Amino acid sequence: MNPTNTSAKPDIRQLTQEELQNYFLSKNEPAFRAKQLYQWLWQKGSKDFSQMTNLSQNLRQQLSEDFTLQTLQLNLLQKSEDETIKCRFALHDHYMVEGVIIPTAERTTACVSSQVGCSLSCSFCATGKMKRMRNLAASEIFDQVISLNELSQKHFQKNLNNIVFMGMGEPLLNYNNTLLAIEKLTQPNALGMSPRRITVSTAGVAKMIYRLADDNPKVNLALSLHAANDAKRSEIMPINEQNNLESLREALQYFQNKNGRLLYFEYIMFKNFNDSLQDAKELVRFCRNFPCKVNLIEYNTVEGTGMHKSEEDALFAFQQYLQAKNITCTLRRSRGKDIDAACGQLANKN
């Protein structure tokens, strides 16, 4: 089916609270209606005007004539043998995105998408093999989290503890909508989640890291590093050609000076590519620039990439070397492999 915009009416969640106020005033309704409506839209996660029971029947009817309320629909849910849940969501224009819930004994983390597809074409990533079709609206990012939170309550009897922007897409290339979604998710009457429990993960867009530093929404920042050597990094992440390690170092130091938090470096371990002692030395050298933590990630083979996961011995030796050099690092075992929910595997497959 060709994705098309199904309605010429504006989506009500594209209006600011001030614009809502002006709308109500134009209908001879009091300005406080905007606050009531805003609460339904962004705090209670309402999916239909008919649910807004403190607005009159006539007003609800008027709203549905003037606006749409676009929400995403759960299209497919898959549960892994390790309890990881992958959800495919259908958007109003029939595009699909995926989100993942990763439960552990200590916490439940949601991994959300920021774009339909991705333009950055990292060679190891299934999403990178899809074209970028469009950015997600703030409301679509918000809805993913609200849906994943409801599913977490249903399947694990607990709310989400953490949100990571590590699903489909590059969040810093959908900057305004990502920040707006974060603002909505952290307001006290919605999920009320602390921004410190939200991690924005970037493939490394230096210019946007400066902007995030200046706006300082107080979230964590993770860099998908995967190689601390420009030649290797450019080989698997074309974005490194315009945003090399030196430019990223400067941007990240600027960010850290403003934000004051640890930086996270994601490092997927690829067999015979970035898992030698020399690679570990280069990583240590890069990490010395910042208070940081490294997440070493077990790779899940994505067909057609030619990349494979590191052998256990190489993983272990790499981790040992980092620890011996006092670099804090953890080894992330892959979750949800059997349902293609693991890192780099999100691609709208069944």
Residues binding ligand SF4 (CB under 6 A): 118, 120-122, 125, 127-128, 168-170, 203, 224, 344
Place of tokens 């004051």: 260
**Pairing, β 73-79 against β 96-103:** unpaired
**Residue with smaller CB distance to ligand SF4, 35 or 349:** 349
**Residue with smaller CB distance to ligand SF4, 70 or 114:** 114
Provide the minimum distance between the beta carbon of 281 and ligand SF4 in the complex, in angstroms, as a whole number.
24
Helical pair 277-287 and 312-324, crossing angle rounded to 10 deg: 40
Nearest residue to ligand SF4, scored by beta-carbon proximity: 128
Provide the minimum distance between the beta carbon of 100 and ligand SF4 in the complex, in angstroms, as a whole number.
13
Considering the candidates 87, 98, 266, 287, report the single residue annotated as catalytic. 98
**Residue with smaller CB distance to ligand SF4, 21 or 127:** 127
Provide the minimum distance between the beta carbon of 332 and ligand SF4 in the complex, in angstroms, as a whole number.
15
Query: CA–CA separation, 270 vs 225, rounded Å?
Result: 12
Residue 216 has a CB neighbour count (10 Å cut-off) of 12
The vertex-214 CA angle with 188 and 209, nearest 5°, equals: 100
Provide the minimum distance between the beta carbon of 194 and ligand SF4 in the complex, in angstroms, as a whole number.
25
Q: What is the DSSP string of 122-185?
A: -TT-SGGGSPP-EEPPHHHHHHHHHHHHHHHHHHHSS---EEEE-SSS-GGGGHHHHHHHHHHH
- 343 catalytic residue (yes or no): yes
Query: CA–CA separation, 340 vs 87, rounded Å?
Result: 11
**Pairing, β 115-116 against β 134-135:** antiparallel
**Residue with smaller CB distance to ligand SF4, 122 or 269:** 122
**Residue with smaller CB distance to ligand SF4, 143 or 170:** 170
Phi, psi values for residue 153, rounded to 5° = -60, -45
Q: How many CA atoms lie within 13 A of 153 on its CB side?
A: 7
Considering the candidates 87, 111, 125, 343, report the single residue annotated as catalytic. 343
Residue 48 has a CB neighbour count (10 Å cut-off) of 11
Provide the minimum distance between the beta carbon of 340 and ligand SF4 in the complex, in angstroms, as a whole number.
13
**Which sequence positions are flagged as catalytic?**
98, 343
